[in-house]
């Protein structure tokens, strides 16, 4: 029987990650030239060991599971932390074979990587880079966490290749979500190390894992928005009353609480299926994206609106959460695309 409750170990991990992020996350840096916080990333990946959670101990990792990784994703969503966790600790890690030496470096936090696929990728795989004698040519657009990666995993028809990021032409792309920068990659004869002869299954696995765990980040966003708005409703007064005492506000927050609670169950199920290689994983991942994505957007919109005038200012952090929720809504497949995928999996199409 699937247990969706958080274990004691998971709660202890959450407390450690939350303490670090509460002390170190600085969203004001998003307006500067280097929005990604590499110092925070090193603390998270190396000092806490979060980058190696799903990697077996035999490969240099922590020997935990994707369930623990999902807890980290929740907290990253809660703080809108600008670190390359999705690209390196999820997509790249899930794409690598269990015996690849790069896994140990990713687990130790000494290097980071990303998977060279558009952030909007779904399960439909199209290779835009070709390989000839280990030399790669072509381009990939809007790759997440590519600007700070040390290694880029590049899928081609000839296999999956690991390329040093220094050998790749990386061009930053203006994104709605500054907490997760994207870049266009161009390969002009860059040398690559063959990781696997068949890239399809590995990339497919990584995209499903990414969709499943992105739901946990969306859950974290929604939880922060709900908690922040409830707290504001208790303290903000209008017409000599707390605004949270008005029935219209109560109903909106109650509806949002129900949605967030449901999203938690859906996201936890997807993470559990991923951790246990459950055959229901494709369904669970698409269900999680179809449900959690709109909930995160709704929570962020309610946060902005129910904060009134302050919610529409740059000084309040609500806009960062709205942008991240909106960007995540099209990352690794939109809710509409995942509903269509669910229909296919259920033989309705």
The answer to whether residue 56 is domain-embedded is no
Render pLDDT for 46-88 as a digit per residue (tens, 0 to 9). 999 999 999 999 988 999 999 999 999 999 999 999 999 999 9
The answer to whether residue 148 is domain-embedded is no
What span, in angstroms and rounded, lies between the C-alpha atoms of 155 and 162?
9
pLDDT above 90 for 96: yes
What span, in angstroms and rounded, lies between the C-alpha atoms of 212 and 164?
28
Would you tell me how many other CB atoms lie within 10 Å of the CB of residue 291? Answer: 21
Full-model pTM:
0.94
Render pLDDT for 171-202 as a digit per residue (tens, 0 to 9). 999 999 999 999 999 999 999 999 999 999 99
Maximum C-alpha span of the chain: 74
pLDDT of residue 301: 95
pLDDT of residue 240: 63
The answer to whether residue 324 is domain-embedded is yes
Render pLDDT for 133-178 as a digit per residue (tens, 0 to 9). 889 999 999 999 999 999 999 999 999 999 999 999 999 999 999 9
Query: How many domains in the chain?
Result: 1
Residue among 38, 35, 154 at smallest CA distance from 92 = 154
Grade residue 242 by pLDDT with cuts at 50, 70 and 90: confident
Contact in structure between 161 and 153 (CB atoms under 8 Å): yes
Grade residue 237 by pLDDT with cuts at 50, 70 and 90: low
Q: What mean pLDDT value characterizes the chain?
A: 93
Grade residue 245 by pLDDT with cuts at 50, 70 and 90: low
Grade residue 208 by pLDDT with cuts at 50, 70 and 90: very high
pLDDT above 70 for 209: yes
Residue among 56, 94, 51 at smallest CA distance from 203 = 94
Range of the domain at 293: 201-345
The answer to whether residue 298 is domain-embedded is yes
The domain that holds 210 is classified in CATH as 1.20.140.10
Q: Which two tokens stand for residue 128?
A: 């835009």
136 strand-pairing partners: 131, 190
pLDDT of residue 316: 87
The answer to whether residue 216 is domain-embedded is yes
Question: Mind spelling out the 3-state secondary structure of 42-68?
Answer: HHHHHHCCHHHCCCCHHHCCCCCCHHH
What span, in angstroms and rounded, lies between the C-alpha atoms of 104 and 98?
10
Helices marked H in the chain? 8-24, 38-42, 66-79, 85, 93-95, 102-108, 199-235, 247-275, 281-306, 318-328, 335-345
The answer to whether residue 154 is domain-embedded is no
238 strand-pairing partners: 241
pLDDT above 70 for 339: yes
How large is the C-alpha radius of gyration of the chain?
20
Residue among 344, 349, 295, 341 at smallest CA distance from 321 = 295
The answer to whether residue 128 is domain-embedded is no
* Between 236 and 10, the higher pLDDT residue: 10
The answer to whether residue 247 is domain-embedded is yes
């Amino acid at each position: 029987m699937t247990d969706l409750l958080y274990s004691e170990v998971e709660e202890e991990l959450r407390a450690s990650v939350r303490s670090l992020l509460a002390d170190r996350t600085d969203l004001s840096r998003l307006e500067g030239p280097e929005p990604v916080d590499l110092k925070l990333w090193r603390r998270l990946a190396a000092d806490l060991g979060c980058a190696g959670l799903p990697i077996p101990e035999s490969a240099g990792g922590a020997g935990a599971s994707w369930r623990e990784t999902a807890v980290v994703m929740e907290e990253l969503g809660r703080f809108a932390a600008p670190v390359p966790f999705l690209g390196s600790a999820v997509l790249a890690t899930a794409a690598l074979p269990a015996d690849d030496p790069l896994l140990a470096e990713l687990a130790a936090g000494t290097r980071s990587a990303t998977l060279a696929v558009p952030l909007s990728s779904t399960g439909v795989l199209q290779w835009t880079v070709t390989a000839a004698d280990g030399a790669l040519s072509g381009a990939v657009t809007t790759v997440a966490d590519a600007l700070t990666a040390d290694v880029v995993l590049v899928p081609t028809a000839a296999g999956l290749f690991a390329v040093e990021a220094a050998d790749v032409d990386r061009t930053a792309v203006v994104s709605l979500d500054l907490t997760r920068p994207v870049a266009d990659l161009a390969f002009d004869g860059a040398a690559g190390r063959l990781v696997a002869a068949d890239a399809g299954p590995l990339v497919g696995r990584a995209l499903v894992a990414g969709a499943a765990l992105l739901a946990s980040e969306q859950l974290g966003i929604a939880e922060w928005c709900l908690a922040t708005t409830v707290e504001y409703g208790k303290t903000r007064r209008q017409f000599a009353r707390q605004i949270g005492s008005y029935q219209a506000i109560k109903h909106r927050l109650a509806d949002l609480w129900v949605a967030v609670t449901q999203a938690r169950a859906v996201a936890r199920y997807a993470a559990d299926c991923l951790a246990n290689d459950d055959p229901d994983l494709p369904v669970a991942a698409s269900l999680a994206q179809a449900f959690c994505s709109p909930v995160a957007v709704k929570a962020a919109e309610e946060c902005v609106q129910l904060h009134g005038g302050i919610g529409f200012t740059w000084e309040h952090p609500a806009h960062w959460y709205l942008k991240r929720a909106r960007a995540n809504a099209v990352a690794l497949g939109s809710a509409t695309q995942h509903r269509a995928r669910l229909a296919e999996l259920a033989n309705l199409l």
